[in-house]
Structure 1
């Protein structure tokens, strides 16, 4: 696989994403459904945004690794949240996670009216290897 990042500017670097990612000749592509703060029994978290983001990331990593991929292969990440303001207040969690894995992903942040049950943040990704 050959991966090329396209960034005509530098301002997005402070926000931990890239403008575009080109993948040539991937071995495989994994499309992951939105992962949120849901426990192993299917119960939705009632915790704050930071706690939900941490659990959503853990769940996302579990699915990715179970499929035989690595978080570093994430090339597209959509973030859905019921409060962009609250999410940005704990965005360090997201940025630290991206940095630890060396993720270079095209991203979109969407504030939505609601998510399932008591959930406040959901992460949807495409992963390549």
Structure 2
């Protein structure tokens, strides 16, 4: 879970960079997971990355029945403003 969460954050940062922005412009973050308890145990990965970037988006954690693809444990959806 920690590795997928870190990779998801890296991917989010790459998408934001492609749009000419960074995590600091993130105003909303939605975290989807099929295992809320496991994700909660690794919340520090998310908090550390956002904190290091100076980002403090409104964050929602949603438990889902199953992810879109087998093997996925976490999905991030963010909204950024410039």
Q: Give the TM-score of the pair, scaled to structure 1.
A: 0.61
Partner of 1:70: 22
Number of residue pairs the alignment of both structures matches: 81
**Runs of 4+ deviating beyond 3 Å:** none
Q: Which has the higher contact order (CA 8 A, sep 6+)?
A: 2
Distance between the aligned counterparts of 2:64 and 2:17, measured in 1?
Answer: 28
Partner of 1:84: 36
Higher normalized helix content (fraction of residues): 2
Unaligned regions of 5+ residues in structure 2, if any?
Answer: none
Distance between the aligned counterparts of 1:58 and 1:118, measured in 2?
Answer: 18
Which of 47, 51, 58 is residue 95 of structure 1 equivalent to? 47
Higher normalized strand content (fraction of residues): 1
For residues 90-129 of structure 1, what are the alpha-carbon distances to aligned partners after superposition, in whole Å with 9 as ceiling and x for unaligned?
A: 1110110111011121111001011122100000000011
**How large is the RMSD of aligned CA atoms in angstroms?**
0.7
- Which protein shows a greater Rg? 1
Partner of 1:109: 61
